[in-house]
Amino acid sequence: MDKHSILKQYYGHSAFRAGQEELIDSILSGRDALCVMPTGGGKSLCYQIPALLLPGITLVVSPLISLMKDQVAALKSVGVPAAYINSSLTGEQIRTVYARTRKGAYKLIYVAPERLETNSFLSLMQEMNVSFLAVDEAHCISQWGQDFRPSYLGIADFVNALPRRPIVAAYTATATAQVQTDILRLLALQTPYRIVTGFDRPNLYFDVQRPKNKFSALAALIDERRERSGIVYCATRAAVERVCEGLCERGIAATRYHAGLTDEERRQNQDDFQFDRKTVMVATNAFGMGIDKSNVSFVIHYNMPKSLEAYYQEAGRAGRDGENADCVLLFAPADVETARFLIENGGADQLSEEDAALVRKRDYERLQAMTGYCKSVDCLRGRLLDYFGQIHPANCGNCSNCKATYQTEDITLSALSLIHI
């Protein structure tokens, strides 16, 4: 079976998207790779197809249990032998996966980065033919990136401890030039093939609003889109509960997702949204990474995120079917204070005092860029693409600022009269 047959049989596509085939060919030739593709660009396929064509096992390092479960379930549903090993499994279940791995039962195994640090897993992989290691959400390795995970720093040591070095490829949707440099260095990628397909999503309409009453503005936006599927992101669990309850009281088919719910509640609510039993998902940033729902036609941020990376990744959940979609941010000055609180109380407890201070400093720099976006009168798409280092026209024609009409007036004489010249 070749790559085109796999694409058709397992994914139902007759042609690759821009950049996918070149990346897959590079990996199959034995070369390391760095892949930066926008959310919805088809990154998963770019390591799953090589995994099916290469000998031995492919390890996929993934940061979220929910993401592993979803991808493994999707692979198994089309007959691909895959498994995950993470903290949601009992000791007995993990031993079963280990035993089946030794018998060659899997082509792909998904693991959290922390798993690579355990002696039992390293010993197992030293027995196996690990031909390919794919690092998903690779921006987590950089202190310059949002969602920094110190455990990602141990990936290179794990690779070096294997009897034969596998091909290593890193995948991310949002990586500035600095983050890309960190990924290359910290994963010790060797003469990698680099592909950056561009960050622009022309079908997304960007809008920043500054309403006096956020909930009324939100309800009006959703009322205009009653039969359409969408996501509302909130900064805190309390806000999710409050907003979801308010929408339900208005007769909107909304559900919720945050880390305070039980696993069963999150799974049920995600399924209700995935299969259109509920049209609106109200969630914290715990929802979305790896979610593959093509008909999301709007993403509304009830609160400003902490960074443009986070915003663009979350907004990018919309319009994956290629249809026009709306990305609306409801901004209020209080959002900045909420973001500052989250930065000061973020998960830097695993770091040294010096490293934690550095991460906070970079978080504040990202927050400044995010706030600048919210207050800008320039092209919003241009602000985003500038941040990621992509060249763009001065006016995109598809954001609220570019479509706004500003009245200009010469006030020179009035100003002179005020200062009595």
pLDDT, residue 260, reads 92
Check whether 380 has a pLDDT greater than 70: yes
Read off the pLDDT of residues 66-105 as tens digits, 9 standing for 90 and up.
788 888 998 999 999 999 999 889 999 999 999 999 999 9
CATH T-level topology, domain 204-403: Rossmann fold (3.40.50)
Q: Which two tokens stand for residue 197?
A: 């397909």
Considering 300-304, 318-322, 393-397, the range whose residues carry the highest mean pLDDT is 300-304
Of the candidates 261, 265, 259, 260, the one whose C-alpha atom is nearest the C-alpha of residue 288 is: 259
pLDDT, residue 290, reads 59
Q: What is the mean pLDDT of the chain?
A: 91
More confident position, 188 or 360: 188
Q: Which two tokens stand for residue 161?
A: 């401890």
Query: CB-based contacts of 373: which residues, under 8 Å, 6+ apart?
Result: 208, 308, 311, 380, 383, 384
Q: Which CATH number does the domain 3-196 belong to among 3.40.50.10540, 3.40.50.300, 1.25.40.20, 3.10.580.10?
A: 3.40.50.300
- pLDDT band at residue 421 using 50, 70 and 90 as cut-offs: very low
pLDDT, residue 145, reads 64
Residue indicated by tokens 């995010």:
370
For residues 417 and 414, what is the distance between their CA atoms, to the nearest angstrom?
5
pLDDT > 90: what percent of the chain?
69
Read off the pLDDT of residues 6-61 as tens digits, 9 standing for 90 and up.
999 998 899 998 899 999 999 999 999 999 987 777 889 999 999 999 999 999 99
Q: Which two tokens stand for residue 294?
A: 């093509």
Angular region, 12: left φ>0, alpha ψ -120 to 50, beta rest: left
Check whether 419 has a pLDDT greater than 70: no
Read off the pLDDT of residues 56-69 as tens digits, 9 standing for 90 and up.
999 999 988 878 88
Q: Which two tokens stand for residue 322?
A: 């290629």
**pTM of the predicted structure, to 2 decimals:** 0.80
pLDDT, residue 176, reads 85
Asked whether this chain's domains 3-196 and 204-403 adopt the same fold, the reply is yes
pLDDT, residue 412, reads 59
Residue spans of the domains in the chain: they are 3-196, 204-403
Mean pLDDT of 297-316: 94
pLDDT, residue 344, reads 86
Read off the pLDDT of residues 218-267 as tens digits, 9 standing for 90 and up.
999 999 998 899 999 999 999 999 999 999 999 999 999 998 999 899 98
For residues 418 and 109, what is the distance between their CA atoms, to the nearest angstrom?
72
